[in-house]
Amino acid sequence: MPSIPQPLDPHDDGGAAPAVAAALAAYEAGTVGDAEVLAALSGARLLVPVVALLAESEVGAHGLRQEKESEMALPKLVGQDGRHAVLAFTGAGALARWRPDARPIQATALQVCQAAVQERAAAVVVDVAGPVQFVIEGETLAALAAVESGTVGELSGVTVARVEPPRRRRRFPWGRRSSP
């Protein structure tokens, strides 16, 4: 049975880290690129959502259907091209903007990237409902996951010194529908 992870910071107020919020605002304004946002995210706490899914129901004493058993699930975003993405949020406000009933689990950005690779997701989408959406994908996602898992040496032809993705802004094919 999976265990519930201990919080990174039991006194976390759920707010976005000021450096992350500033980097994302500057990214939206076009004054910084992906590398600066990734640098801010690299040491930041993110919130990964979990949601309850009905596993079994029954008819209660009053003749109404009621929950008998539920399971917690990690929702994934499904892109218009069919690829899956793991969701992460910079703070509780951004998480509630996406789905108010989701519950947050604290994780570092590197842990989220590692989980995405393990789940065979194509990307991590940060703050999908805003205020500023940011996507980590491709070689950047693989490199960050490898840093967390300690398997950087297993990436062929890769030396991790600094993550420096292209500076051009891209629109991503991630829609707003989710699947667990």
Q: Per-domain residue ranges for the chain? A: 18-55+64-179
Q: How many CA atoms lie within 13 A of 9 on its CB side?
A: 12
**What's the order of all strands across the beta sheet hosting 65-73?**
65-73, 45-59, 103-108
Spatial neighbors of 173 by CB under 8 A, at least 6 apart, are: 79, 80, 81, 83
**Three-state secondary-structure class, residue 131:** coil
- Output b/e per residue, 105-126; b: 16+ Cβ within 10 A: bbbbbbbbbbbbbeeebbbbbb
Which residue numbers in the chain have pLDDT < 70?
1-8, 53-58, 65-72, 151-180
User: DSSP letters of 61-113?
Assistant: TTS-EEEEEEEEE--EEEETTS-EEEEEBSSHHHHHHH-TT-EEEEEEHHHHH
Over the stretch 8-46, which tens digit does the pLDDT of each residue have? 677 789 999 999 999 999 999 999 999 999 999 988 999
Cβ–Cβ under 8 Å, residues 83 and 123: yes
Q: Are 75 and 178 in contact (CB under 8 A)?
A: yes
Q: What pLDDT is recorded for position 19?
A: 95
Name the token pair of 166: 């292209």
Residue 159 is predicted with a pLDDT of 53
Predicted TM-score (pTM) of the model is 0.74
